[in-house]
With several copies, the nearest count.
Chain A
Amino acid sequence: MHFTLSPELTEYAANLREWGSTVARGYARQADTEHALPPDTDKILDSAPVPLGREEFPRDALPDVPDGPGPRAVIWFESIAYSDMWLMESLNRGVGHFVVKAIGTPEQVERWWDPVIAKGGKTGFGMSEPGAGSDTSRIATTATRDGDTWVIKGSKMFCSLGAVADYIVVFARISKDGGKSAIKAFVVERGHPGLTVVKANENKLGLRCWMTSQLAFDDCVIPVGNMLGWSGDDTDLTTTGGLNAGLSGLNDNRPNVSSQSIGVARASLELTTALLREQRQSFAPHRWSVIEDELVRMAWTLDRARQLNLRAQWMNDRAMNNRAEASIAKGFGPLNADRVIRRCMQLLGPEGTTTDLLLEKWYRDIKILDIFEGTGQVMRLLISRHLMGRDAAGS
């Protein structure tokens, strides 16, 4: 059993963090204030001394390290978020095309996946609605068949990249019955008639440069072939990949979300440690020694989360069933991470929460990580079902 990373991955991550915390982090405040990525994002990204993994640039591929893609992802997500979450968002092409890849027909993949990989477009993901969060069965947006078309009607919120994406994968219900299995995924391209951007970017607590849009589908007519997985035969409708299939590809991302929280908390802890050390003489000796203990305790807390993340991804690389372990990783990391940042601000005192430092931003950014892709409560539900069967935690 080993708990070290390869020298290659260690060096890659060190270089990434070095550049990320000096160069990229310099744009963090601006991204927050302007609720948008920096205008010269591409130039900033090009200045990175290591590849960042942008699919459209073959030479930007992440290094092929002996650790495997899973642990590499853990370290990559942690290091990117360590720089600042805006960097994460700048590399976020969206997830719509992953859904296409997961449940689309070969023709659909060719049409909507390949170009994104080749040319680097962005894709949107429309699932949440004002009345439907964790309970996806409550999706109320409808798709009604009309000859060779589907007519989409409804509202979406939290639609990531909704206002700028080349297309949006939107989930809608094709019948009132059938629960989740009646919810299917449809591709709606940008500017398509009937699709209105109600709000390009929602006003959020944090992660403000992450564009989440509110969209209205007002009798939006799309070709029948835009239903993902539809092979031209309507008798397939019940088996056509829908909500669950569309989401399954996202489950693997849970340890990565946790890694992001650990990256942000680690940045906070390192910054705080450096600032406190400069001010050491200002602390009473007893208090200083307490603080040194606290910093170590926080570092161990983050490290425990990191190991859980690595485990989940290491298992994934081996095609081991890691559903419980992925949930554990996501349930554990974010909950500890915001607590670490809060404690860092407390230790720094009144100046710790001003906009002169990034901790206040990170404390805002990080909160969503215990919510999206499954709240901490949903993670506990999944873990307890793993322990106690499918009826567990139903109430």
Chain B
Amino acid sequence: MTFDLTLSEEQDAVRDLARILADDAVSPAAPEAEAARGVADALWRTLLSTGLTAPVAPEHGGGGVPDGTSRLLAVEGLGFGDAAIAASAFWSGNAALLIGSCGTAEQRDAMLPAFVTDTELRAAVALYEGFGRAPSEYRTTIQAEGDRWRVRGRKTGVPLTAGGGPLIVVGTDPSAGDRLRAAVIPADDGQGEGGQGGVTVTASSPHLGLDAAPMSTVDLDVTVGERHLLGGPDADDAALAHEVSMARLTTAALAIGCAQRACEYASGYATERTAFGRPISVFQGVAFLMADARMRIDAARLQVWQAAAGLETTEAAGTERAVSHAVAYATSIASEVTRDCVQVLGGHGFLADHPVERWYRATASLTALDFDPTCLAFTPAL
């Protein structure tokens, strides 16, 4: 294998489809979804029906599971339409991917068909804990206790599972060398299976610019039976780490899609808006902001793709850090880019009449979700 950015026909098709969806369905729905603090059922069904957001293999009734590159193209593409709507859909879909890749045959049979048949299903993977923790550092533990498995910890930024889909919690197992494990928390039993503990889901207040992707904090101290342990006790933890990394990269790809859109929008604005007798794009003080934006976006996209490709070829320990770096860079530059895009619009950028202000908000939330301060340091702007 050599350096190769060629897209397969399938990848090309995914990218095109995502862009069409972004333009026709997602982008127009953004203001309404934001006001409603959620994605309308009709749009949700549309997105699900494309198979892009929650891919399921044919044997479980789906259209097939695309490769990682296709996944990132789809995420960025819909993120170009609206970061919050795309986040909502893909974060739910991440659960299907986790089950498909890491579940036992029984688990797949039990849970995957619903992602196809139940067009209102909202599932969730509980990953983030804050504090810059990478997955191998998660303090949420999943470990054997007798013949059951105890899940303890606190997760934040967990997509709300209002639709009743599965909630999958990712944690580490201190009894097994801190290996990664995932457990499916039964959706219908807020008190924990068998009443041995509890799951408290606290809906978060809206996250800046991600109102349409409501999240929650989940406090867990619950035991579940072995059948709820994703992949069983001997699950392939490398496969799990892989899917978790892809889920984390989702956030980076969303930010890139959003920044790309903002850059195109502000660039277009700059060619139309005139000041001092000329379009403001003639001023290097404006134009160079957009040139820098373009450079950063391209660099971030390649880094995210590279991190995803590395998941196929590299040791897990290395990829986890690579993912942390890719996420930190992509989401941070997305925030700076959207900031500069508001600046290009000047006072108009501060008005909700233009969508740039929404992108300024959304990227800020995306960059705070999974940020490790050792990956990118604060330095003054001047």
Contact = CB atoms under 8 A, between A and B. Distances in A.
Asked if the two chains touch in their complex, CB atoms less than 8 Å apart, one says yes
A364 B57 CA distance: 43
A33 to B, nearest CB: 11
Contacts of B151: none
Nearest to A338: B339
Contacts of A164: none
Nearest to B139: A282
Contacts of B278: 391, 395
Contact of B270 (A283, A310, A328, A388): A388
A350 B130 contact: yes
Contacts of B287: 380-381, 384, 387-388, 392-393
A376 B342 CA distance: 12
Contacts of B310: 3
A332 B379 CA distance: 14
- Majority SS of interface residues in chain A? helix
A331 interface: yes
A300 B328 CA distance: 12
Contacts of B6: 1
A293 interface: yes
B2 interface: yes
Interface in A1-20: 1-6, 9
Interface stretch (A64-72, A115-123, A182-190, A216-224): A64-72
A389 B271 contact: yes
A245 interface: no
A387 B290 contact: yes
Contacts of A5: 2-3
A202 to B, nearest CB: 6
A197 interface: no
A376 B344 CA distance: 10
Interface-central residue, B291, B310, B343, by most chain A CB under 10 Å:
B291
A291 interface: yes
A393 B282 contact: yes
B284 A381 contact: yes
Contacts of A134: 275, 346
B10 to A, nearest CB: 12
Interface in B282-306: 282-288, 290-292, 294-295, 298-300, 302-303, 305-306
B206 A355 contact: yes
B382 interface: yes
Given A135-B275, A294-B373, A349-B156, A383 B294 contact: yes
Nearest to A132: B275
A383 B378 CA distance: 26
* Size class of the B contact interface (CB-based, 8 Å): 35 or more
B375 interface: yes
Interface in A290-337: 290-291, 293-294, 296-298, 300-301, 303-305, 307-308, 310-311, 314-315, 324-325, 328, 331-332, 335-336
A240 B339 CA distance: 40
A171 interface: no
B203 to A, nearest CB: 10
Interface string A110-136: 000000000000000000100101110
A157 B298 CA distance: 36
Contact of A307 (B208, B268, B303): B303
A67 B5 CA distance: 12
B124 to A, nearest CB: 13
B204 A388 contact: no
A133 B299 contact: no
Interface string A38-71: 0000000000000000000000000001111001
A394 B282 contact: yes
B368 interface: yes
Contact of B2 (A66, A315, A370, A383): A66
Contact of B368 (A300, A348, A372): A348
Interface in A274-297: 279, 282-284, 286-287, 290-291, 293-294, 296-297
B349 A371 contact: yes
Interface stretch (B90-98, B109-117, B164-172, B351-359): B351-359
A92 interface: no
A380 B131 contact: no
B313 A4 contact: yes
A151 interface: no
Interface string B140-175: 000000000000000011000000000000000000
Interface string A342-363: 1101111111111110001001
A206 B130 CA distance: 26
A332 B381 CA distance: 8
A350 B215 contact: yes
Contacts of B88: none
Interface in B243-266: 263-264
Given A66-B2, A332-B295, A353 B368 contact: yes
A58 to B, nearest CB: 25
A86 interface: no
B350 A368 contact: yes
B1 interface: yes
A353 to B, nearest CB: 4
Contacts of B294: 324, 328, 383, 386-387
Given A3-B309, A342-B335, A371-B347, A204 B352 contact: yes
B325 interface: yes
Contacts of B133: 284
A363 B276 CA distance: 31
Given A205-B350, A342-B367, A371 B302 contact: no
Contact of A356 (B11, B204, B292): B204
Contact of A387 (B208, B267, B343): B267
Contact of A392 (B204, B210, B282): B282
Given A307-B303, A380-B284, A336 B381 contact: yes
A307 B368 contact: no
B34 to A, nearest CB: 12
B12 to A, nearest CB: 12
Nearest to B69: A1
Contacts of A133: 275, 346-348
A192 interface: no
What 4 pairs across the A-B complex have the smallest Cβ distances?
A349-B130, A350-B157, A135-B275, A393-B287
16 contacts: A1-B7, A2-B2, A2-B309, A4-B309, A9-B2, A133-B346, A133-B348, A284-B131, A287-B373, A294-B373, A328-B295, A346-B368, A347-B371, A350-B204, A380-B287, A380-B292
Interface of A: 1-6, 9, 65-68, 71, 128, 131, 133-135, 137-138, 157-158, 202-206, 279, 282-284, 286-287, 290-291, 293-294, 296-298, 300-301, 303-305, 307-308, 310-311, 314-315, 324-325, 328, 331-332, 335-336, 338-340, 342-343, 345-356, 360, 363-364, 367-368, 370-372, 375-377, 379-381, 383-384, 386-389, 391-395
